């Protein structure tokens, strides 16, 4: 990511819903299939981490709400929705 990209991200507003994650990974399915690695590979924000046991860590507060993971993940692996109550990211520049 370039310095310009970082500057644009810094100008965005993040509001985290501390009570509820908007991302849920089916850990049993991730461990059984190994498909958690797909989430790790495609997420531009680095929200997902793959653990040694095949489970997937989720840092939902870092999510850019781009929906990339939702587009590539098996529906049995990932449950994702926009954050509630105005939480999430507000882009200030295109």
| Gap between the Cα atoms of 83 and 11, Å rounded | 20
Number of residues written out for the chain: 94
Instruction: Indicate if the pLDDT at residue 88 is higher than 90.
Output: no
- Record the pTM: 0.70
Share above pLDDT 90 across residues of the chain, in percent, rounded to a whole number? 46
| Gap between the Cα atoms of 89 and 47, Å rounded | 14
Mean pLDDT of the chain: 78
Pairing mode, strands 78-80 and 23-25: antiparallel
| Gap between the Cα atoms of 15 and 71, Å rounded | 23
**Each residue's pLDDT tens digit, 5-47:** 545 455 555 555 556 667 899 999 999 999 999 999 999 989 9
**Each residue's pLDDT tens digit, 46-59:** 999 999 999 999 98
């Amino acid at each position: 990511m370039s310095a310009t990209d970082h500057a644009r991200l810094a100008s965005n507003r993040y509001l985290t819903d501390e009570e509820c994650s908007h991302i849920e990974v089916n850990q049993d399915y991730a461990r059984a299939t190994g498909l958690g690695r797909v989430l790790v590979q495609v997420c531009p924000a680095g929200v997902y981490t793959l653990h040694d046991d095949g489970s997937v860590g989720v840092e939902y507060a870092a999510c850019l709400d781009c929906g990339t993971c939702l587009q590539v993940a098996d529906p049995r692996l990932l449950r994702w929705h926009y954050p509630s109550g105005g939480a999430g990211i507000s882009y200030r520049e295109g």
